[in-house]
Amino acid sequence: MQRAGNWTRGRASPPSPAARLLARCALLAALITPVGEAYCAPAAQPVATASAGEALYQQGVLSSGEPLEAIHQDGVRLQGVSAACVNCHRRSGLGSREGNSSIPPITWRYLVEPRAPHAEDADLPYVPGMRAEREPYTDATIARAIREGIDSEGKPLSSLMPQYALNDADMQALIDYLKHLDQRRPAGVTDTVLHFATIITPDADPVKRAGMLDVLRHYFADKNVFPLGAVPALRSSRKMMFMVNRRWELHVWELKGPPDTWHEQLTQFLARQPVFAVLSGLGGRNWAPIHDFCEQEAVPCLFPNVEVPVETDHDFYSVYFSKGVLLESDLIAARIVDEAGARPAQATKVAKAVKTVWQVYRAGDNGERGAQALAAALKARGIAVSNHALAPGESVARAMHGIPRSDVLVLWLRPPDVAALARIPPATDTVFMSGLLGGLDSTPVPASWRAITRLAYPFDLPEGRRVRVDYAFGWFSIRQIPMVAPQVQADTYLACGLLAETLSHMVDAFVRDYLVERIQDMLERRILTGYYPRLTLAPGQTFASKGGYIVRFAGPDHFKLVADGDWIVP
């Protein structure tokens, strides 16, 4: 049997055969699928529900509050979230495709569509795995399929299909939910235009703003001149018409005022011009209102440029390339604990090996969030942490007074404050610094500090990523786009490319949930991943890049950045 691509996403090794079997046996796994065709992704995280059918579909919870139960034909029992439909057919109900294996769509119109000689003759948006050549289902036959494993034509379903003893009320709730999943009028989509927005907060860096918008506007212009781009071979005139006719239109939503007014502004923007998705974007100190708005309105928010993303284990529509300074705090914590020579259970030894970790950051800047995360992680290991928040106008030198030389210093500073270190000698012999805030490869760490300073670096090193960013940088050069913020601009270009590639495979199935799911499925096969050595998004994951380096300054002049150890996945 073939292995679905989702099995190894974000894991060090494949699951056991028993775990693989359990994951395959989710609700409706083979409802309209030939034997041996469908394979299922690992169980998704539970989500908030609004109806009995949604709870059953997404969480495997019956209307009584009891867990859904099912039995496989070989005796394997499933319960709760392991039996939920979302595991195989995903949140959209449109399934997915992994190589030669397909999981069919089970939204209502795909189930009840009249028989057609070929899938492309059906009056339905094209989805891999759709089966238009069989008899349409009815309420009665779909109930029979779920309870008895018999399809709409009276034939046994795939051996992967468990049987469920749903009562009439729960069965009707599930069928009603499958009907609810049909979205025949996608928002932000017309016969000729796909509408997208990018969102910019008032405190966003103006230099990064200019660089990001330059990339977005040129990319959209190119896409509209060459609509077929890197589209795979198309097999029908209907697909060709979709690719050629729909123009991309970008709407720039610039927020104003304090964060508590942003939700209303976004509501007005979306009412004036519905969009299919939010692409890229740029945030300052607070991205949470935008994240929450997109979750509430079910609008995909794809790879915004933010230093402090929203960390969650239950949201769906917002996806990020990296955890930003939150990942840096994880990297630094892992290194401090590792160098203390203690295992997780040896918190007392860690505390003795590291006296105190001193952190310096500007009050209200994103470094404060990184410092808070690092302090929490270290205090859990018994390590004392002392924080110094620099007030407006306060010099960095003042924060260095009284730090014992044997302690650890962590700096969450921007380039101007980093450059100001030249006026004082290093306070300790062990210094860590945020690479993201400090300027990455262009950080102005003074020569006197370079030998003892290491950077948290949530990207691939310059030599490692060179091939992956050369195409984007060459594209910038040809279009005369100034490289004012290389990492932000490279991430923006990568986000555009991922969207274009995903839409080319979605063809005309414009469902927002399906867009996010297709990005999840396709991301790990992406070769040009920009600043990141690898990108993966399993169902339930929010951050595509999972790790980073601790780097040091090497060479006689301590100028070249080199890895101080292996790639770390905290």
Give the orientation angle of helix 139-148 with respect to helix 168-180, to 10 degrees. Answer: 120
Q: Which of 391, 323, 332, 328 is nearest to 358 (CA)?
A: 332
Q: How far apart are CA 172 and CA 66, in angstroms?
A: 17
Domain co-membership, 376 together with 336: yes
Domain co-membership, 32 together with 141: yes
In a domain, 529, yes or no: no
pLDDT tens string for the chain (570 positions)?
A: 333 333 233 333 333 333 333 343 333 333 334 433 443 544 444 443 458 999 999 999 999 999 999 887 778 888 999 888 888 889 999 987 655 667 788 999 889 988 876 655 667 888 887 877 789 999 999 999 999 889 899 998 877 778 888 999 999 999 999 998 876 678 999 989 999 999 999 999 999 999 999 999 999 999 998 765 434 434 444 444 444 468 999 999 999 999 999 999 999 999 999 999 999 999 999 999 999 999 999 999 999 999 999 998 889 999 999 999 999 999 999 999 999 874 444 444 444 556 799 999 999 999 999 999 999 999 999 999 999 999 999 999 999 988 999 999 999 999 999 999 999 999 899 999 999 999 999 999 999 999 999 999 999 999 999 999 999 999 999 999 999 999 999 999 999 999 999 999 888 899 999 999 999 989 988 999 999 999 999 988 999 999 999 999 998 788 899 999 999 999
Domain co-membership, 432 together with 553: yes
Domain co-membership, 296 together with 355: no
Domain co-membership, 165 together with 230: no
Final residue of a structural domain among 180, 203, 228: 180
Domain co-membership, 278 together with 355: no
Structural domains of the chain, count: 3
In a domain, 205, yes or no: yes
CATH code of the domain in which 378 resides? 3.40.50.2300
What CA–CA distances, in Å, run from 453 to 87, 355, 373, 406, 418? 46, 18, 20, 14, 11
Final residue of a structural domain among 152, 180, 208: 180
Q: Which residues form the domain of 30?
A: 5-180
Q: What phi and psi values does residue 319 have, to the nearest 5 degrees? A: -130, 145
Q: How far apart are CA 253 and CA 11, in angstroms?
A: 37
Per-residue model confidence (pLDDT) at position 238: 45
In a domain, 58, yes or no: yes
Q: How far apart are CA 443 and CA 384, in angstroms?
A: 28
Q: Which of 197, 11, 485 is nearest to 19 (CA)?
A: 11
In a domain, 569, yes or no: no
Domain co-membership, 494 together with 453: no
Per-residue model confidence (pLDDT) at position 233: 39
Q: How far apart are CA 25 and CA 353, in angstroms?
A: 50
Domain co-membership, 29 together with 163: yes
In a domain, 538, yes or no: no
What CA–CA distances, in Å, run from 2 to 20, 409, 521? 12, 51, 16
Domain co-membership, 310 together with 334: no
Per-residue model confidence (pLDDT) at position 103: 77
In a domain, 364, yes or no: yes
Q: How far apart are CA 178 and CA 564, in angstroms?
A: 52
Final residue of a structural domain among 136, 151, 180: 180
Instruction: Give residue 505's Cα distance to chain centre.
Output: 19
Domain co-membership, 330 together with 314: no
How is residue 73 written in tokens? 């034909």
Q: Are the C-beta atoms of residues 247 and 193 closer than 8 Å to each other?
A: yes
In a domain, 187, yes or no: no
Per-residue model confidence (pLDDT) at position 184: 67
- The number of CA neighbours under 13 Å toward the Cβ of 367 is 27
Question: Can you give the pTM of this predicted structure?
Answer: 0.86
Per-residue model confidence (pLDDT) at position 165: 86
Domain co-membership, 433 together with 473: no
Domain co-membership, 301 together with 392: no
Per-residue model confidence (pLDDT) at position 452: 95
In a domain, 138, yes or no: yes
Q: Which of 273, 270, 322 is nearest to 298 (CA)?
A: 270
Output 313-317 pairs: Cβ under 8 A, ≥24 positions apart. Answer: 313/45, 313/540, 314/45, 314/46, 314/47, 314/48, 315/291, 315/542, 316/47, 316/91, 316/513, 316/516, 317/512, 317/516
Per-residue model confidence (pLDDT) at position 351: 47
Q: Which of 160, 241, 257 is nearest to 203 (CA)?
A: 257
If you search the block for the tokens 């867990």, which residue do you land on? 67
How is residue 164 written in tokens? 């469920």
